[in-house]
Chains A and B, each alone.
Chain A
């Protein structure tokens, strides 16, 4: 029974990959419809990935649009159709880095209030769900932010891509342009720190 489930999962994943490869090929040949299919498939993932790195919905939406536009224009640069997802994440990672670099540069000339982020999280939490769910979400964002602030940039990138964005090790390696062993080392270090963060773990366990 378990084996059948697993087989079904593998078959479905293989069909999905084949379908995706076809869309990528069609999009490379100039089909806008094929690219729109790919975009609708990954738009949420990329938006979420960016949202957790910018903490602002408006910025995340702008950057997501930007990432897909860049991907659409630069499709010729994608050599392997099977790596579309990690290629897309690489564009997103670079775009987010650019965004933070520009933000730092702007901070030199004018001050951007830090409470902008928290204010936005409150607004989102209250408008889209009930008060209890909103509270849990807010707590999750706070706890995850506290934990991630203890990690180095690389550990943070790898942890978020692996557990929040649910990418595989090889996909993370492609997205960050690093070797798999480097990714594993940083992930191991991030997990060691995660194990020490009792408060975050207890929150996730619902205690």
Chain B
């Protein structure tokens, strides 16, 4: 094949490498040139031979296999094989299930309680609510504390009250004018 005027220029190093990677990546002109030009073809062939040598040397330099593969008699089913291939799965799956259950107990249950409380709140009788408010106005203490202070219901006698809160009229040391007692000032 004759080289046309446009394809007379030899292929660059990069194009030779491109041809080795994949010949079809070169343009039609470049492919035509490579086919027709002995210089470029020789360059490509030399590199190809060296690279083939890599393969044959690799083949020759690797040791021969002394063992033969051993396979179980029966091929396991998909799931069985999956579990065997990934031993961690045997630990991870129960752990994951446990985590899901724990999450359900800790997160979902409180939510459910909140929901129930809301429903109960809505179900409260307004009259009942009003009577509760009245009761709280009368006695704001909870029932447990009410039992403890029930002693306060006892009507204290006057002497006791006098002892607790003495009146100023009987105070002998009163310095207020017009009041009983000796003025020491």
A50 (CB) vs chain B CBs: closest residue: B62
A180 (CB) vs chain B CBs: closest residue: B22
Contact (Cβ within 8 A) B67 A65: yes
8 Å CB contact of A52 from B62, B70, B73: B62
Contacts of B84 in A (CB 8 A): 73
Q: Which chain B residues numbered 14 to 59 have a C-beta less than 8 Å away from chain A? A: 14, 17-18, 20-22, 25, 47, 50-51, 53-55, 57-59
A48-92 vs B, CB cutoff 8 Å, 1 = contact: the mask equals 100110000100010011001110111110000000000000000
Q: Which chain A residues numbered 183 to 207 have a C-beta less than 8 Å away from chain B? A: 184, 187-188, 191-192, 194-195, 201, 204-205
A129 (CB) vs chain B CBs: closest residue: B60
Contacts of B69 in A (CB 8 A): 36, 39, 43, 64-65, 68-69
- Report the interface size for chain A: residues with CB under 8 A from the other chain: 46
Contact (Cβ within 8 A) B55 A163: yes
Give complex CA distance A26, B98 in Å.
Answer: 41
Main secondary structure of the interface of A (DSSP, over half): helix
- Report the interface size for chain B: residues with CB under 8 A from the other chain: 38
Contacts of B76 in A (CB 8 A): 73
B70-85 vs A, CB cutoff 8 Å, 1 = contact: the mask equals 1111111010010011
Q: Does A116 contact B (CB under 8 A)?
A: no
Since A44-B65, A57-B63, A164-B54 are in contact, a sample of 11 more A-B pairs with Cβ atoms closer than 8 Å, ordered by chain A residue number, is: A30-B74, A30-B75, A32-B71, A48-B58, A65-B70, A169-B22, A188-B17, A188-B21, A195-B47, A205-B50, A205-B53
B positions within 8 Å CB-CB of A? 13-14, 17-18, 20-22, 25, 47, 50-51, 53-55, 57-76, 78, 81, 84-85
